[in-house]
Amino acid sequence: MQSPPITVRELERADLPLLNRWRNDPGQIANLGAGFRFVSLEAESRWFDGYQGARANNVRLAVCAPDGAMIGVVYLLDIHWVHREAEFAIWIAEPAWRGRSCGAQATRLAIAHAFDDLNLQRLRLAVLPHNEAALRLYRRVGFRQEGLSRKAAYKQGQWHDVVQMGLLRDEYVPEAA
């Protein structure tokens, strides 16, 4: 199902209660690389303060539905200005918006920002092998598998491999997202 156009904007302090609700839902975290842990709203606020102090090397964007409601996040993290690279991450957290091309739209917007506005040369990401929807999207826009970190993520009492992927500016296929 195709969704209406989504937008991205910088994450704001007012977004923290919703982000905190998502982070405290174990089902939400199942396909993400990080393990589940409970996060208080106070800890979330301190995390946001840390982001504000590190904005020069991190871009944290809210993914918004046409009505402006936040439905997920997309990040460019640990930007290295000499090597011109960053870590890419995306999370469409609102279940009603999954499978409607929102992740593809947000991915396109964030990658265009990375390459066209920030003049980055390379993006990297890590994804769990069972997250097939994410793997399909990443491959469609040009990410290539660069490696496999064996038993690198501990989730729900089990160790999981993590697929390492990378995308160079000249490999990006915007129309395929």
The closest alpha carbon to 123, from 174, 171, 166, belongs to: 166
Placement of tokens 């003049």 in the chain: 119
From the candidates 51, 138, 154, 172, which is the catalytic residue?
138
**154 has catalytic annotation:** no
- Which sequence positions are flagged as catalytic? 138
